[in-house]
Amino acid sequence: MSFHSLSFISVVVVAVATQASIATAQVPTPPPATSTAQVPPPPPMTSTSSSLDSAVAVVELRPVETINQEMGEVAALKAGAETRIMAAKQLQVRADTEIKVKQAQIETIEAEIKQAKKDKRGIEQRDFETRKKLAELEKSLLERRKKLRDKEIRYWEASRDHFDIRGKYFAAELDLANKRAQADAVGQQGTSAAVYDQVSKLQGEQQELERKTLEIEVMAAKKRADVSKQELEMSKARKEIFEAQNKLRAGG
């Protein structure tokens, strides 16, 4: 074999070795296998952070300050309703007394009519009959006013009951907000089994409070419907009084 042939073979061998080295360098070496995978720890458990909790938290998450403020406002509204009930009852008693007085006047006029008819005093009889008609209109108006007082009392009693149940709703909502905050605080303490058990217990208590809050909310909605019903009846009674007053002004 000649010197030139040996040189050509050496070049080929070197080229093949170089290509093998390049191919080997382009493939990354996989990390050594280990018996335990490095899994990152789960986030701390809270009552509001997970998508599941967001799906079931049907009671709105509101600041405690807002709940306390509305609780105070509804307490004032309830006290105001109590005041209106007392005022309406006083007017009701007054209207009842006025009706009795007016009825006595009508009975007196009827006696005058009877006597005038007996005495054949036709002009006086007709005058008494006009006075009786006017007195009866006045009595009818008084009766309508008493009816309005009755409806006002029922309206304000319904409003008071509605404000009362709303106050209970805010109290339950406040308990729920505090329980959520407690569960959140415990959940931030770590991921140990003890923490998990405590958070689970608090979340169970939270669900019971949610159920209580929602039940009261349903009751409040029913009370609100009763308020609307009584308001409608009160409005009708006011319209009747308006018509009766116009009729009285027109002289019957």
Query: What separation in angstroms does the CA of 38 have from each of 9, 30, 43, 228?
Result: 51, 16, 15, 63
- From the list 139, 28, 157, 15, the residue with the least C-alpha distance to 83 is 157
CATH 2.50.20 fits 69-249, yes or no: no
Angle at the Cα of 212 from the Cα atoms of 210 and 216, rounded to 5 degrees: 115
As to burial, measured by CB atoms within 10 angstroms (0-12 exposed, 13-18 middle, 19+ buried), residue 167 is: buried
Do residues 151 and 237 make contact, with C-beta atoms less than 8 angstroms apart? yes
Q: Looking at residue 244, what is its pLDDT? A: 84
Q: Looking at residue 16, what is its pLDDT? A: 36
pLDDT tens per residue, the chain (252 residues)?
433 333 333 433 333 344 444 333 343 443 443 333 333 333 333 334 433 344 456 888 889 999 999 999 999 999 999 999 999 999 999 999 999 999 999 999 999 999 999 998 889 999 999 999 999 999 998 999 999 999 999 999 999 999 999 999 999 999 999 888 887 787 777 778 877 788 788 888 888 899 999 999 999 999 999 999 999 999 999 998 898 888 878 766
Query: What separation in angstroms does the CA of 62 have from each of 166, 178, 210, 225?
Result: 16, 11, 13, 25
Q: Which residues contact 175 (CB under 8 A, 6 or more apart)?
A: 209
Establish how many alpha carbons lie within 13 A of residue 55's alpha carbon, considering only the half-sphere containing its beta carbon. Answer: 3
Q: Looking at residue 168, what is its pLDDT? A: 96
Residue 62 phi, psi (nearest 5): -120, 150
Q: Looking at residue 4, what is its pLDDT? A: 39
Domain ranges (residues) in the chain: 69-249
pTM above 0.75, yes or no: no
